[in-house]
């Protein structure tokens, strides 16, 4: 399946965006992702287990995140599964942020113009 190219900009589902954003800070396991997303969205996005794993599966299939072998984390006694951003994932995230910035700027300038006219 062809992967997205780095310079492509896309709008992401809010949940996917948040998951990618928390993973930008480093590999996390499922529970940590739910906690981080909760905090990061100031409690507006609470993930339930089923939707979390569905989102992770989708993002994995799209090649935006990958599972990290638990053996990479010998400290985790429970050998939980960790997820981290792929290169594509991190590009996607950056592009999305860029796109949002552009849009905000566009809306700002236009609304300002309208207020002044």
Partner 1 sequence: MSRAGERYRVAMRILWSRRLREAHGDRAAALFVQLHADASLQGRSTVLALWARSLVGLISTRWAVRGRRAFLATRAGKASVGVDLLRDVGAGFRQISHRPLVTSVVITTLALGIGVNAAAFTVYRAVELSALPMKEPERLAVVRMDNPVRELSGWWWSYPNIGDLRASSGEFEAIGVYGGYAANLLGPDGPQRVSGARVSSGFLATLGIEPILGREFTADEDRLGGPAVALIGYRLWEQQFAARPDVIGQAVTLDSVPHTVVGVLPPTPRVLDRLLWLARTGVAPTADLFVPLDPEAATRRRSTSGYGVIGRLAAHATLASAHEEARTLMARLQEEYAGDFCCDWNGRVTSLHEFIVGDTGRALTLVVLVAASVLALVCVNLGALLSVRASERGREWAVRRSIGAGPARLAQQVLVESTVLGALGGVLGLGLGASLLRALVSMAPDNLPRLDEIALDGSTVVFTLAGAVIASTAFGAVPALLAARRDPVEVLRVGPVGLSRRGASVLRGLVGLEVALALVLVTSSTLLALSFRNLAAQDPGYRVEGVMTAEVRLPDAEYPDDTAAGNLHRALRDRLLNSTGIGSVAMASFTYPGGPWTRMGVDGRTDQTGKPLFISVPALAVTPEFFDTLEVPLVAGRGITGSDDMSAIGAVVVSEAMAAMAWPDEAPASIIGKRLVLGSWRPFMRGGGAMPAQAHEVVGVVGNVRELGSKTRETLPYVYQPLAQDPWLSVRVFLHGKGAAADVVEPVRAALAEIDPTLPLFDIESLASKAARGSSRERFVALLVGGFAVLAVVLAAVGTYGTVAYSVALRTREIGLRKALGATPSGVSRALLRTGLIAPLAGAAVGLGAFALVSPALATLLYEITPLEAGVVIPAGLGQVLVAALATWIPARRASRVDPLLALRD
Tell me how far, at minimum, the Cβ of 49 lies from partner 1, in Å.
4
DSSP state of 68: E
User: Could you give the CA distance from residue 64 to residue 56 in angstroms, rounded to a whole number?
Assistant: 9
Can you list the positions of beta strands (E) in the chain? 28-29, 65-68, 82-85
Q: How far is CA 25 from the centre of its chain?
A: 10
Tell me how far, at minimum, the Cβ of 87 lies from partner 1, in Å.
13
Q: Which is nearer to partner 1, 27 or 52 (CB)?
A: 52
Tell me how far, at minimum, the Cβ of 6 lies from partner 1, in Å.
11
Q: Which residues bind partner 1 (CB under 8 A)?
A: 1-4, 7-12, 16, 30-31, 34-35, 46, 48-55, 57-58, 60-64, 81, 92, 99, 103, 106-107, 110, 114
Q: Which is nearer to partner 1, 34 or 85 (CB)?
A: 34
Contact 95, 9 (CB under 8 A): yes
Q: Which is nearer to partner 1, 51 or 69 (CB)?
A: 51
Tell me how far, at minimum, the Cβ of 26 lies from partner 1, in Å.
19
Cα–Cα distances in angstroms (integers) from residue 22 to residues 64, 77, 110, in the given order? 13, 22, 32
């Amino acid at each position: 399946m062809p992967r997205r190219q780095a310079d492509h900009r896309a709008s992401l589902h809010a949940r996917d965006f948040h998951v990618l954003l928390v993973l930008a800070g480093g590999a996390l396991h499922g529970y940590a992702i739910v906690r981080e997303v909760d905090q990061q969205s100031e409690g507006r996005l609470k993930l339930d287990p089923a939707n979390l794993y569905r989102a992770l599966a989708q993002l994995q299939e799209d090649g935006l995140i990958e599972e990290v072998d638990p053996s990479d984390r010998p400290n985790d006694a429970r050998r939980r599964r960790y997820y981290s951003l792929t290169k594509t994932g991190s590009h996607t995230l950056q592009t999305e942020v860029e796109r949002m910035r552009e849009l905000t700027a566009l809306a700002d300038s236009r609304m300002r113009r309208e207020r002044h006219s």
